[in-house]
Amino acid sequence: MTVPAILAALSVAFPRPGAALPSVERCYVLGAAAPGTTNVVVSGSSFPVHPQGGWVAMAELKPGTNTISVSCVEPGAEAAAETNIVVVVAPKPPLIDKVVDKVTQPEYKKLDYAGDTPRPHPSEHPDRVPVVVIDPGHGENDTGALSPHSLPEKDANLRLALAVKAELVKRGWKVVMTREDDSFPKLYDRPKVAHREGADAFVSIHHNAPPIDKDPRKLRYHCVYAWNEIGERLATAVNRRMAAALGESLKNNGVMKGNLAVTRNPEIPSCLVEADFVTTPEGEIDCWSRERRAKVAAAIADGLDDWRRRQPEP
């Protein structure tokens, strides 16, 4: 699927709906203009527009102001298209932290239903069909990050997760999804699915966005988050295959420590894949490209197969 061209007037969005600014000095905004528009002017500074219409810009805010002005001259237009967005300048914590429930203390927060001992690795019972829970992040009103054309991360997550499911089924896995449509299972109910299903592994699928005051044009990579040792082994296998499949096309940030609601499970190896960033025009195109999705899905499935067979041996 290609990114739908926005032919209407200039659109502009805050990267996360309802998010508040952590500082009043700068933030990024993104949006789309008619294809062929060469540049947008954001609060007085000019930024290039991608040939497909997507753009992302940094807005410098003057103290005391909470409005960002955006304008552009579209091809064939008589006058400039203009729009303003009002930003929330109260330094409330951004919603992004709630979504992944980032916890700063070094101890994991125990899942009250989970035991402390890791379950036997699937290589110890090779006759049993391996079970994995795949968790497409966000859903329903929780869009996750937005791309320049306002395509929501929740949709990229679901598409990639369903492609991963199809690959794993071909490889003989039983796959249980936390969602298969635009619904929103509660964050803490997601790892519970793995517990209930007696799963061997849990993989959450996300796409990334920078903090609201960082410049998205300089931030694009893939990585896998894990918290404990069993999760790290799974994450390493998945990341190795993703890095091999994507090569030079996308920076690899490797396996990262992530104390997240979905990675803390002491019983079931769990990890969270950040497959790419949706926030640049180029990232948006790749995140919604069927061909690229197939490549990433096969890599994640290969990683799970390596992990299941303990290949290569650590």
User: By C-alpha distance, which of 56, 69, 72, 50 is closest to 5?
Assistant: 50
> Considering only residues 159, 192, 195, 206, which one is a binding residue for Zn ion as defined by CB under 5 A?
206
144/95 Cα distance (integer angstroms): 9
Which residue(s) pair with 40 in the sheet? 47, 72
Task: Give me the helices (H) in the chain, please.
Answer: 96-100, 153-170, 189-196, 229-246, 281-287, 290-308
Q: Does 94 bind Zn ion (CB under 5 A)?
A: no
Q: Which residues pair with 29 in a beta bridge?
A: 57
Q: What is the DSSP letter of 61?
A: P
| CB closer to Zn ion out of 130 and 144 | 144
Stretch that binds Zn ion, among 57-65, 134-142, 195-203, 238-246 (CB under 5 A): 134-142
Is the Cβ of residue 29 or residue 273 nearer to Zn ion in the bound state?
Answer: 273
Give the DSSP letter of residue 182. S
Look up residue 249 and give its DSSP letter: G
Residue 152 near Zn ion by CB under 5 A: no
Per CB under 5 A, does 139 bind Zn ion?
A: no
Residue range at the interface with Zn ion (CB under 5 A); choices 112-120, 141-149, 196-204, 249-257: 141-149
Q: Residues 31, 144, 258, 283: which binds Zn ion (CB under 5 A)?
A: 144
281 binds Zn ion (CB under 5 A): no
Smallest distance, Zn ion to C-beta of residue 154, A: 8
Q: Report if residue 148 touches Zn ion, rule: CB under 5 A.
A: no
Q: How far is CA 168 from CA 163, 299, 304, in A?
A: 9, 11, 8
Residues facing 238 on adjacent strands: none
User: Quick one: which segment of 112-120, 161-169, 202-210, 263-271 binds Zn ion (CB under 5 A)?
Assistant: 202-210
Cβ 37 to Zn ion, closest distance in Å? 29
User: Which one-letter amino acid corresponds to residue 140?
Assistant: E
Query: Counting contacts by CB under 5 A, is residue 137 touching Zn ion?
Result: yes
In angstroms, give the least distance from the CB of 157 to Zn ion: 7
| CA–CA dist 134, 36 (Å, integer) | 39
Q: Which is nearer to Zn ion, 144 or 152 (by Cβ)?
A: 144
Q: Which residues bind Zn ion (CB under 5 A)?
A: 137, 144, 206
